[in-house]
């Protein structure tokens, strides 16, 4: 198998695209409500409380859009890396035998540092140690690459 075959992010990308559009639409709707209230004459005490509540909710939607977009952009970056780097990430996965979805989440926001890690590269070239020893070292490397909290939204979709 290969990186592109084993690590298919298309379902996650599709979900992210739909979720981003949904969250943006909700934010836009709240912006329109806020704008309507801001031009209302009178009722300042009542309106200001409602505007503050709507702005807080809009901020949450905007934050979601930002985080989801970051994950989508990271998937695009990861799937666009050179074939040689994809092969290294794939070979490392077959070596450490980590759960596929967990590894797919782990390499998001970590693939650049993993590929630049001297121990990662040495392990792939290692012919002196047994497979078991290399798996143990690989697990330590994985432990140092935390799964970014932003990726938890797509774990069930990859």
* Percent of the chain scoring above 90 in pLDDT: 74
Three-state helix/strand/coil letters over the chain: CCHHHHCCCHHHHHHHHHHHHHHHHHHHHHHHHHHHHHCCCCCHHHHHHHHHHHHHHHHHHHHHHHHHHHHHHHHHHHHCCCHHHHHHHHHHHHHHCCCHHHHHHHHCCCHHHHHHCHHHHHHHHCCCCCHHHHHHHHHHHHHCCCCCHHHHHHHHHC
Residues 26, 43, single domain; the answer is yes
Place of tokens 């709707």: 29
Residue 1 has a pLDDT of 59
Q: Which of 45, 79, 113 is the endpoint of a domain?
A: 79
Residues 8, 75, single domain; the answer is yes
Residues 31, 99, single domain; the answer is no
pLDDT greater than 90 at residue 158: no
Residues 27, 57, single domain; the answer is yes
Residue 106 has a pLDDT of 92
Q: Which of 23, 42, 41, 20 is nearest to 31 (CA)?
A: 23
Residues 6+ away with beta carbon under 8 Å from 152: 105
How many domains is the chain built from? 2
Residues 65, 91, single domain; the answer is no
Q: Which of 21, 44, 79 is the endpoint of a domain?
A: 79
pLDDT greater than 70 at residue 115: yes
Residue 111 has a pLDDT of 95
Mean pLDDT (the chain) is 92
Residue 157 has a pLDDT of 77
Residues 132, 103, single domain; the answer is yes
pLDDT greater than 90 at residue 91: yes
Residues 124, 151, single domain; the answer is yes
The pTM (predicted TM-score) of the whole model is 0.87
Residue 88 has a pLDDT of 94
Residues 75, 7, single domain; the answer is yes
Residues 75, 87, single domain; the answer is no
Instruction: Tell me the average pLDDT across 126-137.
Output: 94
Q: Which of 57, 79, 101 is the endpoint of a domain?
A: 79
Residues 72, 102, single domain; the answer is no
Residues 59, 97, single domain; the answer is no
Quote the domain boundaries for residue 54.
3-79
């Amino acid at each position: 198998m290969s990186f592109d075959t084993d690590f298919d992010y298309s379902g996650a990308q599709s979900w992210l695209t739909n979720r981003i559009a949904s969250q943006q639409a909700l934010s836009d709707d709240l912006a329109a409500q806020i704008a309507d209230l801001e031009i209302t004459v009178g009722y300042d005490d009542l309106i200001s409380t409602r505007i503050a509540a709507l702005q807080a909710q809009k901020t949450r939607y905007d934050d979601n859009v930002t985080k989801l977009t970051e994950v989508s952009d990271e998937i695009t970056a990861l799937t666009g890396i050179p074939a040689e780097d994809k092969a290294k990430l794939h070979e490392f996965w077959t070596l450490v035998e980590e759960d596929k979805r967990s590894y797919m989440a782990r390499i998001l926001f970590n693939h650049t540092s993993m590929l630049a890690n001297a121990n990662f590269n040495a392990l792939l070239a290692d012919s002196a140690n047994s497979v078991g020893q290399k798996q143990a070292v690989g697990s330590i490397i994985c432990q140092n690459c935390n799964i970014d909290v932003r990726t938890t939204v797509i774990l069930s979709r990859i």
